[in-house]
Structure 1
C-alpha cells in the first residue's frame, strides 16, 4: 500500500504486528493456539482502527478491503482449525503463507 493510503507509523505498526503473528503461528507448538488467537485479535483491532484513518479514495479503499477480507478469512480459518493445527503443525503452513501474502499486500511489494 502506498503511504497516501495508510500513514507511515500506523502502517509500520500493523506490519510489525502481522510479522509477529506469523512468527507466533510458526512457533505455535511453543506458545499455543490461545496466544496466536490473542495476537490475531490485536492485529484485527489495529486494522479496524486504521480503516478510520484511511484515505477515502475508492480505489484505495478497494485494495484495503481486499487485504482486510483476506486477513479476516485467514484468522477465521486459523481459529476454526486450531485444534487440527495443534495436532499437526504442518497443517499451519498454508495459513502462514496466506498471512504472509496479506503482509505483502500491505507492504505493496516494497
Structure 2
C-alpha cells in the first residue's frame, strides 16, 4: 500500500498514459484514414492466400482497383466552370467506435 507522499509523487498524467498504453493495450488518437471496403477485402484475401498464382491475381486486382480510384479522385479534383464547392469541418463530431471501413460507418 502506498503512503500519501508516494501517491502524490507517482500519480502523473505520464504515468496514467503509460499504464493505459502498456497494461490495458489502449491507444489515444483517431484513425488516420478511411479504407475502401474493396481494398480491405483485397488486403485480407492477400494476407491469407497461400497459392502464389491466386495471390498474384489478387494483388493485380487490388492494383487495378487502386488505379481506378486514383483516376476517379483526379476527376473529382477538376473544377468545372460555374460550380461552387463548399467544405465543412466535422472534426469535433467523432462517433464511437472508430471504424476504418467507410461502408460500415455509413450503414450504421
TM-score, length of structure 1 as denominator length:
0.34
Higher helix share: 1
TM-score, length of structure 2 as denominator length:
0.35
Bigger Rg over Cα: 2
